[in-house]
Amino acid sequence: MTWTPPFPEAHLLQRILPVGPDVLEPPLYVRSGEGSESYDTYFGVFHAARWRRKTSVGELHVAVEVDGPAEVEVVAVKRMSEKVVESTRASAAGTVSIRLVELADTNVDSYYVRVRGAHLVRGGWYAANAPLRDVHLNACITTFNRQPYVTANVERVRRLAREVPSVAEAFRVTIVDNGRNLELPPGDGLSVRVVPNPNLGGAGGFARGLMHARNDGWTTHVLFMDDDITMEVESVVRAIALFRYATDPRLCVHGAMISEEIPWMQFEAGSHYAWRYTYPLRAVGREDDLRDRITVLADEPESQFEYTAWWFTAFPITVGKDNPLPVFVRGDDVAFGLMHTGEHTITMKGVAVWHADFALKNGPMTLYYETRNMLLIETLVYDKHRWYHTAYRTLSFGFRNLFSLRYASLEYMLKGLDHYLEGPDFWRNVDHSAMHDEVRTCPEEKAAPLPPELAALQVPGGIPKPIRLLGFIAAVPLVGGYILPKWTLRKRTSVAPINSRAVGLATRSTKLLHRHPRLDEGYVLERDAARFWADMRALRSSLMRLRREYPRLKCEYREYYSEMVSDESWCRLFGVTESELKSSSAPTR
Read off the pLDDT of each residue in 117-141 and give the average, rounded to a whole number.
95
Give the confidence band of 195 by pLDDT, cuts at 50, 70, 90: very high
Q: Any idea what DSSP says for residue 339? A: I
Question: Could you give the percent of the chain with pLDDT greater than 90?
Answer: 68
Split at pLDDT 50, 70, 90, the class of 231 is very high
Of the residues 99, 127, 155, the one at which a domain ends: 127
Write down the pLDDT at residue 362: 74
CB 260 within 8 A of CB 354: yes
Among 268-277, 358-367, 370-379, 529-538, the least confident range: 358-367
Average pLDDT over residues 221-241: 95
Among the candidates 356, 389, 404, a domain finishes at: 356
Q: What is the CATH number of the domain that holds 60?
A: 2.60.120
Residue 209 lies in a domain: yes
Boundaries of domain holding 95: 11-127
Residues 348 and 475 placed together within one structural domain of the fold: no
What's the mean per-residue pLDDT of the chain?
A: 91
* pLDDT for residue 493 is more than 60: yes
Query: Do 115 and 151 have their domain in common?
Result: no
- Which DSSP string do the residues of 221-285 spell out, in sequence order? EEEEE-SSEEE-THHHHHHHHHHHHBSSTT-EEEEEEEESSSTTBEEESSEEE-TTSSS-EEESS
Indicate the pLDDT class of residue 358, thresholds 50, 70 and 90: low
**389 and 322 within one domain:** no
Residues 123 and 169 in one domain: no
pLDDT at 46 over 90: yes
pLDDT average, residue stretch 267-288: 91
Question: Do 148 and 85 share a domain, yes or no?
Answer: no
Sign, Cα dihedral of 79, 82, 86, 90: positive
Q: Is the dihedral of CA 149, 154, 155, 156 positive or negative?
A: positive
Residue 393 located in a structural domain: yes
Tell me which of 127, 145, 169 is where a domain ends: 127
Residue 75 placed within a domain = yes
Asked if 341 and 373 sit in the same domain, the reply is no
Structural domain includes residue 319: yes
Mean pLDDT of 358-384: 88
Question: Are 371 and 489 part of one and the same domain?
Answer: yes
Task: Indicate whether 359 pLDDT > 70.
Answer: no
Is the pLDDT score of 232 beyond 90? Answer: yes
Q: What is the pLDDT of residue 421?
A: 97
- Asked if residue 235 and residue 154 are part of one domain, the reply reads yes
Number of domains present in the structure of the chain: 3
CB-based contact 472:499 (threshold 8 Å):
no
Residue 395 within any structural domain of the chain: yes
In a domain, 571, yes or no: no
CA distance 219 to 268: 28
The reported pLDDT for the residue numbered 483 is 87
Q: Give domain status of residue 466, yes or no.
A: yes
Q: Is the pLDDT of residue 2 over 80?
A: no
Three-state DSSP at 131 gives coil
- Report the relative pairing of strands 494-497 and 511-515 from DSSP bridges: parallel
| Per-residue pLDDT band at 361 (split at 50, 70, 90) | low
Note whether 345 and 440 are same-domain residues.
no
CA distance 79 to 366: 42
User: What was the pLDDT predicted at 482?
Assistant: 85
What percent of the chain lies above the pLDDT cut of 70? Answer: 98
Closest CA to 160 of 90, 231, 95, 225: 231
DSSP 450: P
Other beta carbons within 10 angstroms of residue 259's beta carbon come to 18
Can you give the CATH number for the domain in which 263 is found? 3.90.550.60
Q: Answer yes or no: is 216 within a domain.
A: yes
Asked if the model's pLDDT at residue 523 lies above 80, the reply is yes
Q: What is the pLDDT of residue 587?
A: 59
Backbone angles phi and psi of 515, in degrees to 5:
-130, 155
Same domain, 87 and 141: no
DSSP classification of residue 128: S
408 and 499 share one domain? yes
pLDDT at position 256: 95
Q: Please give the Cα distance from 53 to 176 (Å, whole number).
A: 35
Give the pLDDT mean for 353-377: 86
Please, are residues 252 and 27 in contact by the beta-carbon 8 Å criterion?
no
* Same domain assignment for residues 209 and 312: yes
First and final CA of the chain: distance in angstroms? 22
Pairing of strands 81-90, 11-16: unpaired
